[in-house]
C-alpha cells in the first residue's frame, strides 16, 4: 500500500506541473490534488508526510526547473544544489498540508467507525482548502517570501475566475480550487456513499457559481476612463552580453535609443525601458547625461528607465532603481527596488558571517533595498512600479494602489532564464496584480513578455522575445484603483490559517486533556470520533 500511496502523491505533483504556465493545462489544477488527498486519507503519520514530500518535490522541481538556466552564470554544482534546496524548502508546505489533513482524518473525522455525514464532508472540504491556502500565505511571507507558482497562478488566463481577486486577493482562487479538489477526492475515497459526497460538493459549487456571477458583472463594465499611450521597449539583450558589457555598454544604449526613435514616431505619452536596461550607472549623482536629455527632448514623452544607481548615504549604497524623466529630460522622481532577491541581490544576515564569506559575496549579492513607495506622477497618470521579483508579491502593488494610483507598472529583466518557462510563469502573476486593485498594468521585460493588461486581467499588446517587432505600443486605461482587497489586504488567507491553527490546537488540547480519542469537541457535540 505504501508504494501505491507514493505513486498517487507523485501523480499529484505531475498534474500540478502540467497545470502551470509553460504547459498551461490549467483545468488539471481542479483535480491535481485528488491523488494526494486520497493517498493521505487513511495513511499513518509517516506515510502522509512522505506522500507530501514526494508530491511537493515533484511539483516544485518540475515548475522551478528554469533554475538550471543559471548554470552559465555560476557552476552546475551550485545551481543543482540551489534547485534541490529551494524545492525541498517549499515542499515543506506541502508536507505540512498532507500531515495536517491526515491528522484530521485520523483524530477528528472518523471515516471508519461512524462514517462521514454531510456535515463532516463539508467540513473536510473547507478544512482542506483552508490548510492549503494557509500554507500558501505562509510561503509568501516566511524567509522574505516565495509565492512563485502558487496554485491560483494556473488560472491566469481564466478571466471569470480572476475577478475573485478583487474581493479575496489571489488566495481566494487557491481556496476555491482546493475545495473543488477535496470534493472530488471524497467521491474517490468512498464511491459507495456518493450521494452524501454530492450533497457536500454543493458548497464549493455554490462558491464557484457566486464567483462566476460576480465575474459577469465585473467583466460587463463599460468604463470611460481616460487613457495614455505607452511604448514598451524591451530591447531583448542577452544576459551574458549585459554582463560582458558592464562599464562599456554604449552599444546597448544605442540599440535602445535606435528602437525608441522609431517608437516615438507614434507619439506615446510614456516610453518605458526595462529593469537595469543599460548595464552602467547612467545617472551618477542624479545628473542626466546630455545624450539622454537630448534624446528625451526629441522624443517629447515621459521616459521611464530601469537603471542601477550608486549614491552616498553615510556609506556607498547601490540600488536597483527606476527613473522617470519629464519630456524636457529632467528627473522627476526615482524608485529603488525594496524587495530584493535573496542570495542573488543580497545575502541574508551577511553581517553575521565570517569576514572571508562576506568578501566572497561583495559585488555579487550586495544591492541595497529601498524603503519608499514612490508614486510617479505624469498627469493625468499616477503609477507605482514593481521591479522584477517585486511583481510576484500582491502586497507591494496593493500598497501603491492604496496611495491613489490609477495605473501600475512592472519592469523586469527575464534574460537570466532565456528559453525556459520562467518568463511566462513570471508574466502569469501580472494579471492578478491588475485585478486585485482594478488598475491597468504595463509590463516591460528584457527577454521576457511585454504587454499591457487592463483592470480586469485582459492581456493585450503582447510582445514576446522571439517576435519580429522590437517594441509594442498601446493604450492603458487610467482606472482609479480601489477594491475590497485594496482596502483589507490578505485578510482571507490569514483567516484561513488562523482557523486551521485553532482547530488543530483544539484537537490536540482535548486529546491531551481527556487522554482519549473518543471525544474531540470543537464547540459542536456532533463532531466526535
CB 88 within 8 A of CB 57: yes
Per-residue pLDDT tens over the stretch 278-301: 999 999 877 899 999 999 999 999
Residues forming a β-bridge with 446:
413
**SS3 labels along 436-450:** HHCCCEEEEEECCCE
In tens, the pLDDT along 310-333 reads: 988 888 889 999 999 999 999 999
Q: What is the pLDDT of residue 325?
A: 97
**DSSP code, position 131:** H
φ, ψ for residue 238 (rounded to 5)?
-65, 145
Q: What is the DSSP code (8-state) at residue 374?
A: -
Each residue of 197-246: pLDDT tens digit? 999 999 999 999 999 999 999 999 888 889 999 999 999 999 999 999 98
In the predicted model, what is the mean pLDDT of residues 361-365? 55
What is the distance between the alpha carbons of residues 381 and 25, in angstroms, rounded to a whole number?
A: 37
Average predicted confidence (pLDDT) for the chain = 91
Beta-carbon count within 10 A of 254 CB: 12
Question: 296, 332 in Cβ contact below 8 A?
Answer: no
Does residue 435 have a pLDDT over 50? yes
pLDDT at residue number 515: 47
Nearest to 176 by CA among 193, 154, 147, 148: 154
* Long-range own/partner contacts, residues 509-514 (CB < 8 A, 24 or more apart): 511/107
Q: What is the pLDDT of residue 361?
A: 54
pLDDT at 364: 54
Record: fold of 227-338+373-487: Nitrilase/N-carbamoyl-D-aminoacid amidohydrolase (3.60.110)
- How does pLDDT run across 479-492, given as a tens digit for each residue? 988 899 999 999 99
pLDDT value, residue 359: 59
| pLDDT above 80 (res 521) | no
| Contact indicator for 329, 293 with CB cutoff of 8 Å | yes
Contacts 24+ apart (CB under 8 A), 66-69: 66/417, 66/420, 66/421, 66/422, 66/425, 68/420, 69/416, 69/417, 69/418, 69/419, 69/420, 69/422
Residue spans of the domains in the chain: they are 2-219+490-514, 227-338+373-487
DSSP state of 67: G
User: Looking at residue 284, what is its pLDDT?
Assistant: 82
Q: How does pLDDT run across 364-417, given as a tens digit for each residue?
A: 567 899 999 999 999 999 999 999 999 999 999 999 999 999 999 999 999 999
Q: Per-residue pLDDT tens for 450-464?
A: 999 999 999 999 999
State the burial class of residue 319 (Cβ atoms within 10 Å of its Cβ: 0-12, 13-18, 19+).
Answer: buried
Judged against a pLDDT cut of 90, whether residue 351 lies above it is answered with no
Distance CA(26)–CA(29), nearest Å, equals: 6
| Contact partners, residue 331, CB within 8 Å, separation at least 6 | 283, 286, 288, 323, 324, 325
**With 50 as the cut, is the pLDDT of residue 340 above it?**
yes
> Which residue is associated with the grid cell 452524501?
196
Q: Give the pLDDT of residue 529.
A: 33
pLDDT for the residue 74? 80
pTM of the model: 0.93
Give the integer Cα–Cα distance in Å for 27 and 35: 15
The 10s digit of each residue's pLDDT in 85-144 is 999 999 999 999 999 999 888 765 554 455 678 888 999 999 999 999 999 999 999 988
Q: What pLDDT score was predicted for residue 360? A: 57
Would you say 268 and 475 are in contact if contact means Cβ atoms under 8 Å apart? Answer: no
Which region among 48-52, 84-88, 180-184, 360-364 has the lowest average model confidence (pLDDT)? 360-364
Query: pLDDT, tens digit, for every residue of 56-68?
Result: 999 999 999 999 9
pLDDT-derived band at 161 (thresholds 50, 70, 90) equals: very high
Residue 193 near residue 115 (C-beta atoms within 8 A): yes
Give the pLDDT band (50/70/90) at residue 175: very high
Amino acid at each position: 500500500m505504501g508504494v501505491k500511496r507514493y505513486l498517487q502523491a507523485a501523480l499529484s505533483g505531475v498534474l500540478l506541473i502540467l497545470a502551470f504556465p509553460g504547459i498551461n493545462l490549467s483545468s488539471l489544477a481542479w483535480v491535481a490534488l485528488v491523488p494526494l488527498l486520497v493517498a493521505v486519507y487513511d495513511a499513518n503519520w509517516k506515510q502522509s508526510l512522505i506522500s507530501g514530500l514526494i508530491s511537493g518535490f515533484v511539483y516544485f522541481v518540475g515548475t522551478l526547473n528554469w533554475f538550471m538556466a543559471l548554470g552559465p552564470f555560476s557552476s552546475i554544482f551550485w545551481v543543482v544544489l540551489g534547485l534541490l534546496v529551494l524545492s525541498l524548502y517549499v515542499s515543506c508546505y506541502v508536507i505540512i498540508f498532507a500531515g495536517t489533513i491526515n491528522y484530521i482524518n485520523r483524530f477528528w473525522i472518523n471515516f471508519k467507525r461512524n462514517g462521514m455525514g454531510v456535515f463532516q464532508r463539508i467540513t473536510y472540504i473547507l478544512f482542506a482548502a483552508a490548510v492549503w491556502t494557509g500554507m500558501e500565505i505562509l510561503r509568501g511571507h516566511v524567509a522574505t517570501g516565495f509565492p512563485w507558482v502558487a496554485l491560483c497562478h494556473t488560472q491566469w488566463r481564466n478571466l471569470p475566475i480572476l475577478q475573485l481577486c478583487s474581493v479575496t486577493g489571489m488566495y481566494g482562487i487557491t481556496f476555491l480550487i482546493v475545495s473543488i479538489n477535496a470534493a472530488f477526492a471524497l467521491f474517490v475515497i468512498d464511491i459507495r456513499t456518493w450521494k452524501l459526497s454530492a450533497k457536500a460538493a454543493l458548497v464549493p459549487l455554490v462558491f464557484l457559481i457566486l464567483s462566476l456571477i460576480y465575474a459577469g458583472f465585473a467583466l460587463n463594465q463599460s468604463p470611460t476612463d481616460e487613457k495614455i499611450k505607452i511604448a514598451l521597449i524591451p530591447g531583448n539583450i542577452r544576459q551574458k552580453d549585459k554582463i560582458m558589457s558592464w562599464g562599456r555598454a554604449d552599444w546597448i544604449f544605442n540599440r535602445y535609443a535606435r528602437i525608441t526613435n522609431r517608437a516615438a514616431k507614434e507619439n506615446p505619452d510614456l516610453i518605458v525601458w526595462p529593469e537595469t536596461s543599460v548595464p552602467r550607472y547612467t545617472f551618477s549623482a542624479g545628473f542626466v547625461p546630455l545624450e539622454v536629455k537630448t534624446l528625451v527632448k526629441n522624443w517629447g514623452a515621459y521616459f521611464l528607465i530601469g537603471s542601477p544607481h550608486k549614491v552616498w548615504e553615510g556609506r556607498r549604497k547601490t540600488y536597483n532603481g527606476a527613473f522617470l524623466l519629464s519630456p524636457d529630460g529632467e528627473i522627476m522622481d526615482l524608485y529603488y527596488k525594496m524587495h530584493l532577491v535573496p542570495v542573488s541581490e543580497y545575502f541574508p544576515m551577511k553581517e553575521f558571517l565570517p569576514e572571508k564569506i562576506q568578501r566572497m559575496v561583495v559585488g555579487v549579492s550586495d544591492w541595497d533595498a529601498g524603503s519608499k513607495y514612490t508614486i510617479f506622477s505624469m498627469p493625468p497618470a499616477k503609477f507605482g512600479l514593481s521591479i522584477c521579483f517585486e511583481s510576484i508579491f500582491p502586497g507591494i502593488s496593493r500598497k501603491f494602489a492604496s496611495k491613489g494610483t490609477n495605473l501600475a507598472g512592472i519592469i523586469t529583466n527575464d534574460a537570466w532564464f532565456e528559453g525556459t518557462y520562467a518568463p511566462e510563469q513570471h508574466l502569469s502573476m501580472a494579471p492578478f496584480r491588475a485585478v486585485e486593485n482594478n488598475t491597468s498594468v504595463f509590463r516591460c521585460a528584457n527577454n521576457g513578455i511585454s504587454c499591457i493588461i487592463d483592470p480586469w486581467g485582459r492581456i493585450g499588446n503582447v510582445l514576446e522575445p522571439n517576435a519580429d517587432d522590437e517594441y509594442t505600443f498601446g493604450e492603458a486605461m487610467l482606472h482609479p484603483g480601489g477594491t475590497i482587497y485594496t482596502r483589507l489586504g490578505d485578510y482571507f488567507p490569514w483567516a484561513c490559517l488562523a482557523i486551521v491553527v485553532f482547530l488543530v490546537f483544539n484537537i490536540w488540547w482535548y486529546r491531551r486533556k481527556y487522554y482519549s480519542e473518543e471525544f474531540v469537541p470543537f464547540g459542536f457535540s456532533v463532531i466526535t470520533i
